């Protein structure tokens, strides 16, 4: 593994979501609140899951979540989400998060997460995922 691999945006992949956190997203220490990052990760992860499920999905598990570096006010935060597993009713998504510092001279990987979503029907009951 290249020692600088956590300092470069993934090549050949478009971010699923990009957001610039604001001062209201910071915690009392001045870093972006972890809950804000978790919320954005859930949104980013839900996008490929909902597209694959062709309908409504719900988050049922945060399988893993690792904060590697802090996110700062004004960073350009990019979320890269990809489906890693598809079950009968569930979809597991890996999300990598990178922050381009305000100076845009430094990019760092700030978070790795894996979440599981379940496809549900109108009554919120699990439904089968149609595989093409």
Query: Would strands 17-19 and 90-100 be described as parallel, antiparallel, or unpaired?
Result: unpaired
Question: Can you give the pLDDT at residue 1?
Answer: 41
Query: Would strands 90-100 and 107-119 be described as parallel, antiparallel, or unpaired?
Result: antiparallel
- Give the distance between the most distant pair of CA atoms in the chain: 49
- The conformation of residue 46, written as its DSSP 8-state character, comes to H
CATH tag, 13-119: 3.10.129.10
Question: Can you give the pLDDT at residue 3?
Answer: 47
Which portions of the chain are predicted below pLDDT 70?
1-6, 131-132
Question: Can you give the pLDDT at residue 26?
Answer: 97
Question: Can you give the pLDDT at residue 131?
Answer: 66
Do the Cβ atoms of 15 and 81 come closer than 8 Å?
Answer: no
Q: How many CB atoms lie within 10 A of CB 83?
A: 15
Residue extents of the structural domains in the chain: 13-119
Q: What global pTM score does this model have?
A: 0.91
């Amino acid at each position: 593994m290249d020692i600088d691999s956590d300092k470069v945006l993934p090549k050949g992949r478009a971010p699923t979501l990009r957001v610039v956190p604001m001062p209201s997203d910071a915690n009392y220490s001045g870093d972006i609140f972890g809950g804000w990052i978790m919320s954005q990760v859930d949104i980013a992860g839900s996008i490929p899951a909902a597209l694959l499920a062709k309908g409504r999905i719900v988050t049922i598990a945060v399988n893993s979540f690792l904060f590697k570096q802090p996110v700062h006010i004004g960073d350009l935060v990019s979320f890269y989400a990809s489906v890693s597993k598809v079950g009968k009713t569930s979809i597991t998504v890996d999300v990598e998060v990178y922050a381009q510092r305000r100076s845009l001279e430094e990019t760092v990987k700030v978070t790795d997460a894996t979440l599981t979503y379940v496809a549900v029907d109108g009554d919120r009951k699990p439904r089968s995922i149609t595989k093409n």
